[in-house]
Amino acid sequence: MLSAYTHATSAIASPMLDILAITSPIYLIILIGYLMTRRGLFAKADMRVLGTFVMNLALPALLFKALSTRPIVEIFNVPYLVAYALGSLLVIAVGYVWSRRVSGQDVTTSAISTMGMSCSNSGFVGYPILLLTMPSVAGVALALNMLVENLLAIPLLLFIAEQGRNPAGRWRAVCDSLVRLTRNPLVIGLMAGVLFSLTGWSLPTPVSRTVDLLAAASGAVSLFIIGGTLVGVELRGLGPRAAPIVFGKLLLHPLFVFAMIAACAALGLRMVDPDLRAAAVLLAAMPMMGVYTTIAQGFGKAESSAAALLVTTIASFFTLSALLWLLRHGGLT
């Protein structure tokens, strides 16, 4: 009897320990970033400098590396793009209606809240986790998510937010956003990778190794930045306002993406690679994007967005661990 109990306990504990072995290093680096910034070894302003390095050099290099060495058919995975886009649009619709009708928020506040529910931190948190769990599809999944987020979700929500603040200037806001996209290093890295994939070009060895070194720096530095950014963030009674954002981001978004993957498969748009299916659900379950508070600050919503980011980041340790267990042992994909 005791032997059977011990065996059953071991059978449960072993997979959970495997999952914690994946998630713990991610959040330990976030904790290190928080503690070192809290103790004054780094200033909060340093996080912006490190973020500039990641966004302008490391992540573009990573995207280029991931795409330039793969066939174009593998890069433009239509089932992934459709399923992830539809899942994101669905959570945008539900989140916006909830914010407006139930929470009674104005148009701009509702758009910012919905952005927190639907735009994942694919680069700073998602990619490092994918690198540990499914490295063969990590780069491609990141690039596909960047397409959906930068070309669809973020411009749409900025349009809505601007409509609430300045109805006459909403189209200008969208045009400005699209113009900025053409100068965005992430988009440039993505497009360059696609070009090299189409043409079969390759970089000279010294340049290629330089790109590899920059790409390798993105994971740990990104996580460190997340931790440092959370220093000084206080809830101050904003917890109840942040709760729907946390629920929408960590639970509804991955659930809707999973549902759209199943719906697309039923209609003949099936993702063949199970790792890619898992990556889509996993990336949808990430905390909101790192620049969420910066965007929200531009609309006067800095405090509530920072509180949502703090709670979501902490809660995601538990939700991501549970999701990873389901993906590995629950036959979710």
Residues 44-95 have pLDDT tens digits of 899 889 988 988 899 889 889 888 888 888 778 999 999 999 999 999 999 9
Confidence bin at 117 (pLDDT 50/70/90): very high
Q: Calculate mean pLDDT across residues 168-180.
A: 67
Q: Calculate mean pLDDT across residues 157-166.
A: 80
The answer for residues whose C-beta is within 8 angstroms of residue 138's C-beta and 6 or more apart is 66, 127, 130, 131, 279
Q: Calculate mean pLDDT across residues 192-221.
A: 91
Q: Phi/psi at 144 (nearest 5 deg)?
A: -65, -40
Confidence bin at 123 (pLDDT 50/70/90): confident
User: Could you tell me the fold of the domain covering 45-329?
Assistant: Na+/H+ antiporter like fold (1.20.1530)
- The CA–CA distances, whole Å, from 95 to 102, 146, 166, 242, 247 equal 10, 21, 22, 12, 10
% of the chain residues with pLDDT over 90 = 45
Residue 84: how many CB atoms within 10 A of its CB?
31
Residue 8: how many CB atoms within 10 A of its CB?
10
CA distance 244 to 33: 27
CA distance 83 to 264: 6
Chain-centre distance of CA 226, in angstroms?
12
Tokens of 27: 């959040």
Residue type, 78: V
CA distance 92 to 119: 9
Residue type, 133: T
CA distance 172 to 162: 9
Q: What is the DSSP letter of 330?
A: S
SS3 at position 170: helix
Does the pLDDT value for residue 314 go beyond 70? yes
Q: Calculate mean pLDDT across residues 103-129.
A: 92
Average pLDDT, the chain: 86
CA distance 108 to 69: 41
Of the candidates 307, 183, 192, which has an alpha carbon nearest to the alpha carbon of residue 239? 307
